[in-house]
Amino acid sequence: MKKRAPHITLFSGGVGGAKLVDGFALLEPRANLTVIANTGDDVEQHGLWVSPDPDIVTYTLAGIVDESKGWGIAGDTFHALEALARLGEDTWMNLGDRDLATHIHRTRRRREGVRPTTIADEIARQLGVTTARILLPTDDFLRTVVETDSGTMPFEEYFLKARCEPEPRDIRYDGADKARAAPEALDALDAADMVVMAPSNPIASIGPILAVPGIREALKRCSAFRVAVSPIVGGRALKGPSDRMMRAKGYSVDPVGVASCYEGLIDALVIDEADRAYAAALEGKGLKTLVTQTVMKNRDDRARLAGEVGRAFLPDLEVGQGTG
């Protein structure tokens, strides 16, 4: 009997997460993929609703992402942004002309009263994404806020405008307590054979998703095998301020700290060969481990890692090989 394709639901932030999502999307035969993309970084810029993480995932899966940066659209120009600066707008967020179209369209649809989840799904389809469904954790307001010695600021402002320079003291998720989980996101957890926490910032990217009431509970009760891929390699974050944010939240900056971020929510942790020494400690905590090369330098790496994760933890289902 032919094995069936697995339902895999990923929690993802931006650049790092999108790479692993892309890896799963590259597998043949195809898994039934769903991405729940972080909206805690959403920000209003120039009066437009910018949604960085869902866009990065969308552009990556659509094959139009600027691969050299990991975000934005390949070959984009910045003429509108230059003109906005001339008009006195604060242009700290590097929005290209083609990218702006997404924000203009999203803002228009949102003002029409269309659900953000529907808009994200529509944008992905219109840009040609066929390998995964891109969902949001909630249609409601959610904002990751970073408290620093230089003041409190939304994550994107901390990340881009302040260039992560101030030391983070705490991270909170404004609006999370009142946000309602999107039913599609809950359904995608209920239907999943495997849930994957992509190697995104556990505090700033996955944390906001888990902070939406109902998501954590769905993750606890679902029958899926739940695995996280550590974004910490060799004691530091591959990209961004994960390490400093984990430290601010009292976690050790290593695979054990990552496992603690996801305590009670994962069955396994994928760690890099550089961190092989942590495998025993993780297994002592009751977690399965997969030790492999987790740094994704190219699309081959992405598909290889995705395939390894799938085959390691879903042995009874048909998990494809990378096509790269």
Which residues here bind its own copies, judged by CB under 8 A?
A: 46-48, 73, 76-77, 79-84, 86-89, 96-102, 104-105, 107-108, 111, 122-123, 126-127
Of 101 and 277, which has the nearer Cβ to its own copies?
101
Least separation in angstroms between CB 10 and its own copies = 24
Of 17 and 96, which has the nearer Cβ to its own copies?
96
Non-local (6+) Cβ contacts of 236 within 8 A are 243, 253
Q: Are 304 and 322 in contact (CB under 8 A)?
A: yes
Least separation in angstroms between CB 142 and its own copies = 22
Of 124 and 317, which has the nearer Cβ to its own copies?
124
Of 67 and 82, which has the nearer Cβ to its own copies?
82
Of 98 and 172, which has the nearer Cβ to its own copies?
98
φ/ψ region of 2 (left if φ > 0, alpha if ψ in -120 to 50, else beta) reads: beta
Least separation in angstroms between CB 157 and its own copies = 17
Least separation in angstroms between CB 54 and its own copies = 14
Least separation in angstroms between CB 114 and its own copies = 12
Of 126 and 150, which has the nearer Cβ to its own copies?
126
Least separation in angstroms between CB 26 and its own copies = 23
Least separation in angstroms between CB 101 and its own copies = 3
Of 92 and 323, which has the nearer Cβ to its own copies?
92
